[in-house]
Amino acid sequence: MNARNQRRYLVAALAACAMVSATSADAQTWPARPIRMIVPFATGGGTDIQARLFSAKLQPTLGTVIVDNRPGGGGNIGAELVAKAPPDGYTVLFQSASLAVNQTLYRKLNYSAVRDLAPVLLVSSTPLVLVVHPSVPAKSVKDLVTLAKANPDKLNYASTSSGTTSHLSAELFKTMTGTRITHIPYKGSGPAMGDLIGGHIPMMFVPIPAAIGNVQAGSLRALAVTSPKRSSLLPDLPSVQEAGVAGFDVALRYGLAVPVGTPQPIIERLNKELNAALASEDVKKRLATEGADALPGTPEAYAVDIDREETKWSVLVHKLNLKVE
């Protein structure tokens, strides 16, 4: 167990011990009222879609689960709300990869993913796809790297905004391929995709569901997916690793967390119910339409994953001095 995990478990244990007498009775009767599932992003995005899928699957056994979108601050507004909520199991966080990334990306945070949030389950993982406009003379990752190296600082890429997975994926790609490609941040996926499809910007890392229709229509050319293995939605497309960038691995990771100090029986119940949802055929089929892999597991496994992702991205953030106010 690494030092970060030791700290996480120590904080959780101390908080649990301090509150055990006050919360044991509540844990036995939980849930006695509706559960609020905070989604720290706007409606319609990948995080929101999956949160609503799982909230609906939890309701037959846990009662009413209300999805409450609290967008802003790259996911920090909603995450902080949950981090500071009473640890009673009635306020939970459905979060994306930003939970790990934001810890080093943002200059000032009023919460800590390690000290203030207890992992419940990493529910799914969804790769992105590297796409270019058809006017770009690159039919493969190798072609794109060759083109970029022949034209340093002249090739641009779009992101949905600074600090997002689409931004960091491209920065990791640049670092691992030794290319110099210029970042053009947009305010949301709509404007970025509009300019990409219109040919005003040549390339972007995009969640597969947002790109697949345009790829199939020929308005975008897909070069590779960002996960180590191929996607079931684009089975003929290689991964970036297969295309020659060894070790490249990026995915949108979705999971549930609760405030530290939440009674362990509640965490275990949430974990059990989510794992049961992941085992159902309708959830498997719905996740497949999003290009997502179901990831049944334990709270401890999610803690390890958060730590691993935070370490990976913190190295890149510090190396490139990427900071968001």
Any domain includes 240: no
Residues 12 and 117 occupy one common structural domain: yes
Other Cβ atoms less than 10 A from the Cβ of 246: the count is 8
242 located within any domain: no
Task: Verify that 118 and 159 share a domain, yes or no.
Answer: no
The pLDDT of residue 18: 44
Q: How many domains does the chain have?
A: 2
Q: According to the model, what pLDDT value does residue 3 have?
A: 56
Specify whether 138 is located in the same domain as 72. Answer: no
| CATH for 189 | 3.40.190.10
Q: Are residues 11 and 35 in the same domain?
A: yes
Which among 161, 166, 195 is positioned nearest to 71, based on CA atoms?
161
Task: Say how far apart CA 234 and CA 314 lie, in whole Å.
Answer: 30
Q: Could you tell me the CATH number of the domain that includes residue 284?
A: 3.40.190.150
The pLDDT of 263-283, averaged and rounded, is 97
User: In this structure, is residue 75 part of a structural domain?
Assistant: yes
Q: What is the pLDDT of residue 72?
A: 87
Do 49 and 89 belong to one domain? Answer: yes
Same domain (yes/no): 97, 36? yes
**Domain extent for 30:** 3-125+251-320
Q: Is the pLDDT of residue 6 over 90?
A: no
Counting residues of the chain whose pLDDT is more than 90, the rounded percentage is 77
User: Is residue 244, in this structure, part of any structural domain at all?
Assistant: no
Torsion of CA 179, 180, 184, 185, to 10 degrees: 60
Q: Is residue 237 part of a domain?
A: no
pLDDT band for position 21 (cuts 50, 70, 90): very low
Q: What pLDDT, on a 0 to 100 scale, did the predictor assign at position 25? A: 52
Same domain, residue pair 95 and 149: no
For residue 7, what pLDDT is reported? 54
At residue 66, the 3 state secondary structure works out as strand
**Is the N-terminal amide bond of 207 cis, ω within 30° of 0?**
no
- Reported as a single tens digit per residue, the pLDDT across 69-128 is 999 888 999 999 999 999 999 999 999 988 888 988 888 899 998 899 999 999 999 999
Q: Given this model, what pLDDT does residue 58 score?
A: 97
Do 192 and 260 reside in the same domain of the chain? no
10: pLDDT strictly greater than 70: no
Residue 241 lies in a domain: no
Task: Give residue-wise pLDDT tens across range 190-249.
Answer: 899 999 999 999 999 999 988 999 999 999 999 999 999 999 899 999 999 999 999 999
φ, ψ for residue 261, nearest 5 deg: 100, -10
